[in-house]
C-alpha cells in the first residue's frame, strides 16, 4: 500500500493555455506544459478544464490506447469521429471514447446550431466535438485514464444521467466495474462519480488507494483539508473516506475519481 498522502492543487497552480478561442487549465502535464513531478495521479493522466468560444474549437487529431471521458458543465459540444458517431454533448450527458488502436476526432464549434438535428440522431460521440450554440461559449472537463488492455477496437458510448444526478449525492458517471448508472470504461480499477450538490449537501468521498476530487463549480469543505474552491482539486493517496460538504450558499459540482492502481513507469 502507498503511504497516506493528501495534496491540494489550487486552480492558480494549474498550467494555463490561452489563445484567441480557448482558455484551458490543465491539472497535469499536458502538451507543451511539462513538470516531471506532476504527470498523473493514480490512473488519471489528464484533467483539462476548457472554455471554447462559439464558432471555434479543436481540429481533427488522433488518439490511441486511452479512455477519454468528456463532461460538459455549461453550453454544448458537437461531436464527430471516424467511427461515424456525431451529435451534441450537453450537461448531464456522460460521454466516453475508447481510443484503442486509433481514432481521429475533433472538438470544433460550427457557426450555426446543430443541436436539434444531431440530438434527433441520438448518437453523439467524441470524434469531433464542437460548440454549436452560435453565441455562447462551452465549458467542459475532459479526463483521460489509461485502459487496462491495450490495442482494443475503438469504441464510443454516451448516457444521459440527469435523472440520477437530480436525486442527489454522488452518481457513477464512468465505471470499469459495471455500475448501472454509468458509461463503461476499459479500466477495471477506476470509477468516476459526479455530484451536483445542493447548498449544504454532504456526501462521502470513497476510500480507495488513489482518489482525485475536482471542483469545477461552486465550493466545498473536505474533511481534513478545508475549503476547496472552483478549479481546485485534491489528490488523496490511501487517505480513507472523507466527508465533503457543499458551500451553504452556492452548492457545488464535483467530479471524483476512485482508483485502485496507478500508472507504472511515469
This prediction has a pTM of: 0.90
pLDDT at 121: 37
Distance, in Å, from the CA atom of 177 to the CA atom of 197, rounded to the nearest integer, reads 24
Residue 126 pLDDT grade (very low, low, confident, very high; cuts 50, 70, 90) = very low
* 3-state class (DSSP) for residue 184: strand
Q: What is the mean pLDDT of residues 142-170?
A: 94
Higher pLDDT, 181 or 8: 8
CATH number of 5-259: 2.60.120.10
In the chain, where are the structural domains located? 5-259
pLDDT at 266: 55
pLDDT digits (tens, 9 = 90+) for 233-249: 999 999 999 999 999 99
Where does 64-180 show beta strands of DSSP type E?
67-74, 77-81, 86-89, 93-98, 103-107, 138-145, 155-160, 171-175
Higher pLDDT, 84 or 2: 84
CA 72 to chain centre: 8
Q: How far apart are the first and last CA of the chain?
A: 18
* 3-state class (DSSP) for residue 12: helix
pLDDT at 57: 73
Lowest mean pLDDT, pick from 121-135, 162-176, 210-224: 121-135
Amino acid at each position: 500500500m502507498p503511504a497516506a498522502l493528501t495534496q491540494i492543487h489550487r486552480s492558480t497552480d494549474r498550467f494555463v493555455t490561452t489563445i484567441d478561442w480557448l482558455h484551458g487549465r490543465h491539472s497535469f502535464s499536458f502538451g507543451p506544459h511539462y513538470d516531471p513531478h506532476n504527470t498523473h495521479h493514480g490512473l488519471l493522466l489528464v484533467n483539462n478544464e476548457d472554455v471554447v468560444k462559439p464558432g471555434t474549437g479543436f481540429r481533427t487529431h488522433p488518439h490511441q490506447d486511452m479512455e477519454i471521458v468528456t463532461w460538459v458543465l455549461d453550453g454544448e459540444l458537437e461531436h464527430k469521429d471516424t467511427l461515424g458517431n456525431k451529435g451534441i454533448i450537453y450537461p448531464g450527458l456522460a460521454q466516453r471514447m475508447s481510443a484503442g488502436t486509433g481514432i481521429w476526432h475533433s472538438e470544433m464549434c460550427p457557426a450555426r446550431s446543430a443541436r436539434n438535428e444531431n440530438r434527433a440522431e441520438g448518437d453523439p460521440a467524441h470524434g469531433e466535438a464542437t460548440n454549436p450554440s452560435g453565441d455562447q461559449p462551452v465549458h467542459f472537463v475532459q479526463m483521460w485514464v489509461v485502459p487496462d488492455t491495450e490495442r482494443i477496437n475503438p469504441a464510443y458510448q454516451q448516457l444521459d444521467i440527469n435523472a440520477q444526478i437530480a436525486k442527489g449525492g454522488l452518481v457513477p458517471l464512468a465505471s470499469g466495474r459495471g455500475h448501472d448508472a454509468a458509461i463503461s470504461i476499459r479500466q477495471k480499477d477506476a470509477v468516476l462519480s459526479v455530484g451536483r450538490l445542493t447548498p449544504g449537501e454532504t456526501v462521502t468521498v470513497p476510500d480507495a488507494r488513489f482518489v482525485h476530487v475536482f471542483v469545477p463549480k461552486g465550493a466545498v469543505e473536505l474533511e481534513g483539508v478545508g475549503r476547496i474552491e472552483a478549479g481546485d482539486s485534491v489528490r488523496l493517496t490511501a487517505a480513507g473516506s472523507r466527508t465533503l460538504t457543499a458551500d451553504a450558499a452556492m452548492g457545488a459540482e464535483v467530479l471524483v475519481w476512485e482508483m485502485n492502481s496507478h500508472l507504472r513507469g511515469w
